[in-house]
Structure 1
Amino acid sequence: MSVTAWLTVAVFATVYVLIATERVHRVTAALGGAVVMLVLGATSPEHAFFSDVTGIDWNVIFLLLGMMLVVAVLKRTGLFEFVAIWAVKRARGRPYRLMVLLILATAFLSAWLDNVTTVLLIAPVTIVVCRRLGVPVVPYLIAEVMACNIGGAATLIGDPPNIMIGSRAGLSFNDFLLHMAPIATLLVLVFAVMSRWLFRSAFRYDPKRAKQIMEMRERDAITDTRLLAVSGVVITIVMVCFVLHTTLHLEPSVVAISGGLVLLAVSRLNAREVVADVEWETLAFFTGLFVMVGAMVQTGIITDLGEAAARATEGQVFGASMALLFGSVVPSAVIDNIPFVASVSPIVSEIVESSGGLKEAGVLWWAFALGADLGGNATIIASSANVVVVGIADRSGYHISFWQFSRYGLVVTAVTIAISGLYVWLRYFALA
């Protein structure tokens, strides 16, 4: 590697350590790292701000901004309190039942929406629910974002890496349902069982609080019925457009920002107050992270790693599939799975073609998707949904540290990847 490439690795590693140790705020570390990358010449303003491959992913930024505006308006209707009371009553005040309910609901929604949209809608509800029930907020937020990453693996539109893989490989929505939905469903159920042990300290049952909530009426929580009705219409249109975005030739980011601005315009709310609720720190963090990862791609570091893996497994479909499944976990955990998939998917395409085409080696795409999607649970910066949830938690007064998340995330990632490896071997090799 060149001197610039080595310096790029050193800067990225330093920023990663600063984020992990929390010696510097993650936003300061990410933006500072981005500036250093630009000064070193590891990337340029042209690549950092305008390139689809090595620059800031503006589609992600505007998708987040649009949905944050939607959530900021919804918060003023009382809907989150309504759902919180309803959820606690369905769980009869039992903390573990509540977590399972949130896990299943989040996983289901994330399969049909992208996982960032899902956590933006579910996380505020979760905070209200936990406050009402008197249980720790952080374990529930961590559990639901992990369920979101797992559930999002089930469909083409559930996770941004899946959209990118589907586009590169020519895979349809039904292809993902057939190959990814079965294992994603199994992993969600396994995770729901694991959560009983992982988050056992959070399940403090308070009969008095539970009784008080059981006596409450959900409808009393709604404070603005007109705004709720208007929001319902706008959100329904947005969700339909999300599902049909390929048919409509509209990027999800365009749908989200349009929906957010329309809802803000018709809400009659003070725009300055609504905009103040946007997670600007999260958007800034993503900006810095995209520039740093883009520098890693620009200098050829990620591509070199991918090509080395391709050479090591050349001609061996089973070996290549296992390498992609297990080998995608660490990069996805370290640099965020979106830029990782963007840079490595062309290499996977070449391996598939050299192995006889999609019919014979299509398993490589499924192994790659599983590794990238499930690796998103390992650290707080491994997926966009994780970063968003950490930002929401911070603004609500709840700090989720890098190691607090990873203490659970590494265990969940190890278990789900191991089960996925068994699934790939059984379905595509042993029983094929």
Structure 2
Amino acid sequence: MSLWIALAVFVAAYVFIATERIPRLAAALGGAALVLAFGVVGANDVFYSEDTGIDWNVIFLLLGMMIIVGVLRQTGIFEFLAIWAAKRAHGDPFRVMVLLCLLTAVASAFLDNVTTVLLIAPVTLLVCQRIGVRPEPYLIAEVLASNIGGTATLIGDPPNIIIASRSGLTFNDFLVHLAPLIVVLLVVFVVLCRVLFRREFEADPRQVAEVMELDEREAINDVRLLRRSLIVLAAVLAGFVLHSTLHVEPSIVALLGAGVLVVVSRLSAESYLEEVEWETLVFFMGLFVMVGALVNVGVIDAMAHWLAGTVRGEAGLAVVVVLFGSAVLSALVDNIPYVATMSPVVAQLVAPDGPLAGQTVLWWALALGADLGGNATAVGASANVVVIGIARRNGYPISFWEFTKYGSVVAAVTVVLALPYLWLRYLS
């Protein structure tokens, strides 16, 4: 009975989120409440279990970075970057999109993609307002770029951190094996942007002319706070890069950075807490509880083991199934809990006594499928949910289907291109 309840609740909540018949927060919290009320999961499952509970590392990473962004906003740095970007692109909307997307992709490779979009989204909103274009397409393009760019490194996308911990792969392993493909995919992505968003590249000539006359340095209104903020931010980013060496979770690094910045900034709580996307954080909690219910009743585990039985020791078939299976499933559920469930199965397959012993290509298939497939829908990756929350809060709502219309195309093209790369490099 618990199995069918968990499935029914998840499907119903997903339908409500996709159709927007009720607010997404109500759908997520309602679904979480139902699986709790029917006893599918309990308090220990929700609050304390790493497998079925709320991923507090994600929640507190987001909270810490949102507070840091809130303090940074008080310095005028986002206005500075917005004017700088618009002027460097000479006000051309497509150039602005390419510049912001490439900046996001590169930053996402060395931070995590959620942190990157939290920093870049405010800049995007401002630059779009300055040149007179709709910000929604630019925000969608950026989050797609962040998921692609984050795939290149161990720390760029949360699923990669999970894969590294299970497989023993290093930062350099990810960089050597995935970065070459990601460079190609980013070039393809820029071409796709030109096609997918072709109707969005009409700026207001008068506003563009006004931007070109601005001096971006005048946007900085608190130089002392900016210096302090950048020092703290640099320390936080260094902590992210070195977290595996320091054995400190990124969430702790973010909270420590937020705490230090709050103390040294001496700002009122209202000024930086207003940037916290409380609705997004609570939505994540509800989503984690519902996915945890699926894990608890064995749905995701059964799907993963079915996958292991299907490949029957054939490396080529295994790569195809893991790559495309991961892409599809990561589009439906957040790719973090999916990879947490799937990685032990891959570990069994490639173990010395497993049917595909030594075939590390399966780890790369899992990473590419989960990271790139997460672009397909609004709930496929954490960065997607964060950007949609920021857009809604600033008066630019992005519907589930508007995101999916673009994201599904990008996900399909990039995942399909990943297959020949894996095949030619590791199986030929």
TM over 0.5: yes
Query: Could you tell me which residue of structure 2 aligns to residue 338 of structure 1?
Result: 336
Output one character per residue of 1:181-236: Cα deviation in whole Å (capped at 9) or x when no partner.
01111111110111001011110033322221111101000111111011011001
- Residue of 382, 385, 408 corresponding to 1:384: 382
Query: Could you tell me which residue of structure 1 aligns to residue 266 of structure 2?
Result: 268
Return the TM-score normalized by structure 1. 0.97
Query: Could you tell me which residue of structure 1 aligns to residue 97 of structure 2?
Result: 99
CA–CA distance in 2 between the matches of 1:135 and 1:275? 28
Q: Is the 8 A contact 2:314 2:356 kept in 1?
A: no
Q: Is the 8 A contact 1:379 1:406 kept in 2?
A: yes
Output one character per residue of 1:233-271: Cα deviation in whole Å (capped at 9) or x when no partner.
100111111101111111000000110121112111111
Give the aligned residue type for 1:406.
T
CA–CA distance in 1 between the matches of 2:272 and 2:146? 26
| 5+ residue gaps, structure 1 | none
- Cα RMSD of the aligned pairs, angstroms, is 0.8
Query: Could you tell me which residue of structure 2 aligns to residue 290 of structure 1?
Result: 288
Q: Within the alignment, does 1:170 sit opposite 2:168 as a pair?
A: yes
CA–CA distance in 2 between the matches of 1:327 and 1:356? 18
Q: Within the alignment, does 1:318 sit opposite 2:326 as a pair?
A: no
Give the aligned residue type for 2:160.
N
Query: Could you tell me which residue of structure 2 aligns to residue 204 of structure 1?
Result: 202
Other structure's SS at 2:395 match: coil
Q: Is the 8 A contact 1:168 1:346 kept in 2?
A: yes
Other structure's SS at 2:169 match: coil
Query: Could you tell me which residue of structure 2 aligns to residue 183 of structure 1?
Result: 181
Query: Could you tell me which residue of structure 2 aligns to residue 280 of structure 1?
Result: 278
Give the aligned residue type for 1:341.
V
Give the aligned residue type for 1:417.
V
Deviation, structure 1 residue 21: 0.6
- Write out aligned runs for 1:338-357 (5 A): 338-353=336-351, 354-357=354-357
Query: Could you tell me which residue of structure 2 aligns to residue 410 of structure 1?
Result: 408
Stretch moving more, 250-259 or 263-272: 263-272
Deviation, structure 1 residue 293: 0.4
Deviation, structure 1 residue 273: 3.1
- Write out aligned runs for 1:27-426 (5 A): 27-353=25-351, 354-358=354-358, 361-426=359-424
CA–CA distance in 2 between the matches of 1:210 and 1:338? 41
Query: Could you tell me which residue of structure 2 aligns to residue 427 of structure 1?
Result: 425
Q: Is the 8 A contact 2:70 2:271 kept in 1?
A: no
Output one character per residue of 1:266-315: Cα deviation in whole Å (capped at 9) or x when no partner.
11111133213210000000000011100100000000001011101021
CA–CA distance in 1 between the matches of 2:422 and 2:312? 19
Q: Is the 8 A contact 1:317 1:355 kept in 2?
A: no
Other structure's SS at 1:180 match: helix
Other structure's SS at 2:321 match: helix
CA–CA distance in 1 between the matches of 2:33 and 2:331? 23
CA–CA distance in 1 between the matches of 2:389 and 2:260? 24
Deviation, structure 1 residue 356: 4.8
Deviation, structure 1 residue 355: 3.2
Give the aligned residue type for 2:326.
S
Give the aligned residue type for 1:357.
A
Q: Is the 8 A contact 2:71 2:271 kept in 1?
A: no
CA–CA distance in 1 between the matches of 2:92 and 2:118? 24
Other structure's SS at 2:151 match: helix
Other structure's SS at 1:385 match: helix
Distance 1:356 1:422, change over 3 A: closer
Residue correspondences, number: 426
Give the aligned residue type for 1:45.
A
| 5+ residue gaps, structure 2 | none
Give the aligned residue type for 2:260.
V
CA–CA distance in 2 between the matches of 1:356 and 1:199? 42
Q: Within the alignment, does 1:15 sit opposite 2:18 as a pair?
A: no
Deviation, structure 1 residue 39: 1.2
Deviation, structure 1 residue 391: 0.6
CA–CA distance in 2 between the matches of 1:328 and 1:40? 29
Q: Is the 8 A contact 2:313 2:356 kept in 1?
A: no
CA–CA distance in 1 between the matches of 2:312 and 2:305? 10
Output one character per residue of 1:76-109: Cα deviation in whole Å (capped at 9) or x when no partner.
1100000000001110110001111111100000
